[in-house]
Homo-oligomer: A and B are copies of this chain.
Amino acid sequence: MRPANPLQREAKRTALLDAAAQCFAEAGFVATRTADICSTAGMSSGNLFHYFSSKHELLLALIAREGEETAAAMTALVAAEDPMAALSGFLEHVCQLASDRHYAGLALEISALGHRDEAVAHLVKANDLVLREGLAALVDAAGRSGQLHTNLSPEQAATWLAALIDGLFARVAADPQFNPQDQSQVLQQLVAHLLQGR
């Protein structure tokens, strides 16, 4: 049944996106059946097609949602009074996310899918740009607050912040003993060096 109430519809759509995120992270996109997603969301099989035309459309909606969440997080960060403290808090949050097997598994699954699926690659690149533009705005704000000591442009600094975040997630995939939360201090020091030369 498709609820007539828009709020109920939105709640069901969100439940399906959450369930898909869990299934894709655990079993991978290809091995996940739409029935698995419905069952994880506590809905009857086939209900999914009232909301998404295919498993692939659900995947794309999931990646788009991730982009919206990144954009909202970045807007909040850029508005912070102390930009460097905001960046430091964001990096702490990223270390937590990378330590979350479920989140990291989904990120790696999407990145692997993007390698051979143009629609996924397009959205992943758009999300990456949202992240980098947000980080560049944050670095720019830190500069205007007199918090920087670097020759890098905000865009170049944002690129290296993104590279460090990518590297963190890649280490999770490569090395089972790597715990991002244990490494957050080293990350913060590298970022302080990158932006403040110390």
Contact = CB atoms under 8 A, between A and B. Distances in A.
Report the 4 A-B pairs with minimum CB-CB distance, sorted nearest first.
A163-B167, A167-B167, A166-B170, A112-B112
B159 A178 contact: yes
Interface stretch (A7-15, A42-50, A79-87, A186-194): A186-194
Oligomeric state, in copies: 2
A170 B194 CA distance: 19
A19 B128 CA distance: 33
A174 interface: yes
Contacts of A109: 115
Nearest to A163: B167
Given A116-B30, A193-B190, A193-B193, A166 B162 contact: no
A115 B189 CA distance: 30
A161 to B, nearest CB: 10
A61 interface: no
A173 B171 CA distance: 17
Nearest to A177: B159
